[in-house]
Amino acid sequence: MDLSGRYSYSPLLRWNPQVEEYFIRAYGADHFSRISKALTRPSCYSCIRVNTLKTTTDDVIQKLLAIIQNSGSSEADVASSVKGRLQNGTISESQIPGLEYVVFVKGSGPHTIDYGYEPDKPPKEVIVSRKCAEAVLRGAQVYVPGVMACSSHVEKGDVVAVSVAVEQPTLDGGWGLGITRGTVLQGSQTDPYYFERSGLYIGQGTAMMSRAGIFRASEGIAVDMHNRIFQLPSFYDVLEGEIFLQNLPSIVTAHALDPQKGERILDMCAAPGGKTTAIASLLRDEGEVVAVDRSHNKVMDIQKLAAEMGLKCITTYKLDALKAVRRKNESNDEPNMCNSKDNNYITSQTSDSMKLHKEVPSIAAEGLNGDKSCKEKVSNEKGVERTYVSKADTRKNMRRMRNGPGRNQCLGGRAENSKGFSPNSFDRVLLDAPCSALGLRPRLFAAEETIQSLRNHGKYQRRMFDQAVQLVRPGGIIVYSTCTINPGENEALVRYALDRYKFLSLAPQHPRIGGPGLVGRYEFPDGYVE
Ligand SMILES: C[S@@+](CC[C@H](N)C(=O)[O-])C[C@H]1O[C@@H](n2cnc3c(N)ncnc32)[C@H](O)[C@@H]1O
């Protein structure tokens, strides 16, 4: 029997049938099929944003080359782990105008792997969960919790083939993983998911524990992946504070916002802070970036990243972006709504500005003729005075000062609560909205999203956008971005914004990477028109 197809990597992404039909209608069958296939693979480039406040692009390239060559670098330990993965890699400075501080490192793949199959002597195997496999495809190792099943008699040091169990249809019409953790594999067709795992082999590795150890331990590396389908460099812990690994569309999003020194910027859904720190760097740390997120722990992550990158102009708050506009009775300021009739906005829309990057589409909505009054409020000081802190929070803070940090404040820091901000109080607002994330890759399963769940994302995003519009000053800029391919969360939001807020218009964006956005309409079976 020819089993070369079985021990290969040729996944087919599963979608909810209605969602698939909707995307095919939006993109066309061929284009959607290419998108769907591309989503199953990692990007062949790693993208590094250089922290130009601490170092230079040339310096980073030199250091990375030194690490690869393992030439007396103080990061020798890391070097040895990076080296193997970078042998085929090339490092280059971005040629995109304005993005000279971005470095690309090329990976390779997909590679064909010889799993050593011989008739009647199948290789020893490990099955991992889908999430684990997606991480492995991005360059991670196989950690103990990700292992679902393992051949009998696997000992430490054995070479194992690694495949993935992807969700399958269940009898009740849903999707499930019908495999019990700890299952013993026989290498035969009676193994769980035997046929379903055909074409889902993601590489070969060395078992770091015996089979018993893998299922007894609660943490640690189970399989050291030495032979991968995709070889991507891993820069975990390398040049900390000097570089930040970030997808190119995220870097472009910060550029689209075009922050200017001294401005006051709001990042409405900021954690873990990738775009916040990109904006602060573009400001050269001069101005104020107010970064909010609704999760306390995630706000702490932003603080940690800002400290690591040496950025001081970032102020963080825990805040629900749906309540980002301070209520009138909590403010002394008279709200100066930017949609008041007195504001004489000019709407200019060019077809050019509809060319949105698909992975992270963004619009810059600009009121061209607004007043710039909020500029003078900007300083490099923390913007605590601009946010309302309740009496309860003040009491809590005093208690904390007396008693020291609580369990959640183990870093010594804390996330200040905010009750929101005054209307028109920001020069620019980034709304990097929570979304269906259907543009993130590699992805091995996509059928969990339904038409209804996609529509709910859209509703949530529109409510957030309604807040963003109020917070930006007349003449200011809003950038909206997602990491999904769902037009209902991208182009449809842009349509909503322009229809509902006549004073908004699309603004040019630099740099512009990718093609134009989609134009059209879709009528759902329930009559809903998008
Ligand atoms: C796409 S991620 C943001 C990524 C971030 N901008 C970056 O570049 O690192 C979306 C974030 O929105 C946050 N979020 C979701 N709902 C929120 C809400 N109602 N208010 C504030 N943040 C929210 C999530 O906690 C998550 O961190």
Q: Which DSSP symbol is given to 161?
A: E
Q: Within 10 Å of residue 147's Cβ, how many Cβ atoms?
A: 25
Q: Are residues 197 and 279 in the same domain?
A: no
Q: Is the CB of 298 under 6 A from ligand 1?
A: yes
Dist. CA 197 → ligand 1 center (Å): 34
| pLDDT confidence band for 119 (50 / 70 / 90) | confident
- Residue 492 is classified by DSSP as H
Of residues 80 and 237, the one with the higher pLDDT is: 237
| Residue located via tokens 């035969």 | 188
Helix (H) or strand (E) holding 429: strand 426-432
**Host H or E run for residue 458:** helix 451-471
Q: Is residue 132 within 6 Å of ligand 1 at its C-beta?
A: no
Residues 394 and 499: beta-carbon distance below 8 Å:
no
Last residue in a domain, options 177, 197, 228: 228
User: Does residue 149 sit in the same domain as residue 261?
Assistant: no
Q: What is the CATH number of the domain that holds 426?
A: 3.40.50.150
Q: Which residues of 456-465 are buried (b: 16+ CB within 10 A; e: fewer)?
A: ebbebbbebb
What band does 80 get if pLDDT is binned at 50, 70 and 90? very low
Q: What local confidence, expressed as pLDDT, does residue 77 receive?
A: 44
> Which pTM was predicted?
0.83
Position 395 scores a pLDDT of 54
Cβ atoms of 289 and 314 closer than 8 Å: yes
Inter-residue contact 276 to 290 (CB < 8 Å): no
Q: Kindly report the CATH number assigned to the domain that includes residue 133.
A: 2.30.130.10
Range name among 144-158, 184-198, 490-504 with the lowest pLDDT average? 184-198
Same domain flag for 154 and 254: no
Residues 405 and 259 in one domain: yes
Q: How far apart, in whole angstroms, are the C-alpha atoms of residue 120 and residue 256?
A: 58
Q: Is 460 in the pocket of ligand 1 (CB under 6 A)?
A: no
Residue-range definition of the domain harbouring residue 193: 111-228
CA of 48 to the centre of ligand 1 (A): 22
Residues 494 and 363 in one domain: yes
Query: Of the residues 199, 228, 257, which one is the last residue of a structural domain?
Result: 228
Task: Please tell me whether residues 123 and 194 are part of one structural domain.
Answer: yes
pLDDT band at residue 355 under the 50/70/90 scheme: very low
For residue 433, say whether it is annotated as part of any ligand binding site: no
Residue 79, in any domain of the structure? no
Ligand 1 centroid distance, CA of 300 (Å): 13
Percentage of residues in the chain having pLDDT higher than 70: 80
Q: Do 147 and 215 fall into the same domain?
A: yes
Give me the DSSP letters along 329-389: GG-SSPP--TTSTTS-------GGGG---SSS-EEEEE-TT---GGGGG--SS--GGGS--
Residue 86: inside a domain:
no
Same domain assignment for residues 414 and 327: yes
Is 160 in contact with 123 (CB distance < 8 Å)? yes
User: What spacing in Å lies between the alpha carbon of 46 and ligand 1's midpoint?
Assistant: 23
Q: Would you place residue 177 in the very low, low, confident or very high pLDDT band (cuts 50, 70, 90)?
A: confident
Among 451, 448, 514, 453, CA closest to 481? 514
Q: pLDDT at position 218, please?
A: 95
Residues sharing a CB contact under 8 Å with residue 206, sequence separation 6 or more, in sequence order = 157, 158, 159, 160, 223, 224, 226
pLDDT at 393: 52
Which residue, of 181, 199, 228, is where some domain finishes? 228
Q: Ligand 1 pocket: which of 269, 303, 466 to mutate (most atoms <8 Å of CB)?
A: 269
Q: Sign of dihedral through CA atoms 390, 392, 393, 399?
A: positive
pLDDT tens, position by position, 377-395: 333 333 333 444 455 554 5
Q: Whose CA is nearest to atom 11 of ligand 1?
A: 269
Please indicate, yes or no, if residue 473 is contained in any of the structural domains. Answer: yes
**197 plus 287 within the same structural domain:** no
Distance CA 457, CA 265 (A): 25
Distances (CA, A) of 187 to 37, 39, 151, 157, 315: 28, 29, 7, 19, 55
Token pair for residue 226?
């030495």
pLDDT at 118: 81
Percent of the residues in the chain that have a pLDDT greater than 90, as a whole number: 67
CA–centroid distance, 434 to ligand 1, in Å, is 5
Q: What's residue 368's pLDDT?
A: 35
Q: Is residue 2 marked as binding?
A: no
Average of per-residue pLDDT values in the chain: 84
In a domain, 51, yes or no: no
Q: Is residue 91 part of a domain?
A: no
Domain count, the chain: 2
Angstrom distances, CA of residue 374 to CA of 366, 370, 473:
15, 11, 7
Confidence of residue 1 (pLDDT cuts 50, 70, 90): low
Query: How far apart are the C-alpha atoms of 490 and 496, rounded to whole Å?
Result: 10
Residue 124 lies in a domain: yes
Find out whether the beta carbon of 324 lies less than 6 Å from any atom of ligand 1.
no
In one-letter notation, the amino acid at residue 447 is: A
Q: Please determine, for residue 296, whether its predicted confidence score (pLDDT) is greater than 60.
A: yes
- pLDDT of 173 reads 85
Is residue 197 in some structural domain? yes
Q: Give residue 24's pLDDT band: very low, low, confident or very high (50, 70, 90).
A: very high
The verdict on the CB of residue 294 being under 6 Å from ligand 1 is: yes
Quote the tokens at residue 464.
Answer: 């957030």
> What local confidence, expressed as pLDDT, does residue 412 receive?
55
* pLDDT recorded at residue 120: 78
Q: Is 173 domain-assigned?
A: yes
DSSP 3-state of 164? strand
In ligand 1, which atom is closest to the CA atom of 483?
A: 1
Picking from 130, 115, 286, the residue whose alpha carbon sits closest to that of residue 204 is 115
Same domain, 155 and 279: no
Instruction: Tell me if 436 CB under 6 Å of ligand 1.
Output: no
- Tens of pLDDT along 179-213? 889 999 988 888 888 998 999 999 999 999 999 99
Same domain flag for 480 and 335: yes
Give me the active site residues, please. Answer: 483
Alpha-carbon span 203 to 112, nearest angstrom: 9
> 79-83, 114-118, 171-175 — which is least confidently predicted?
79-83
293 known member of a binding site: yes
**For residues 226-230, average pLDDT:** 95
Whether residues 493 and 361 share a domain: the answer is yes
Q: Which of 369-383, 390-404, 488-502 has the highest mean pLDDT?
A: 488-502
The residue that leads in pLDDT, 361 or 278, is 278
Predicted confidence (pLDDT) per residue in 425-467, tens digit:
999 999 999 999 999 999 999 999 999 999 999 999 999 999 9
Q: Name which residue leads in pLDDT, 373 or 216.
A: 216
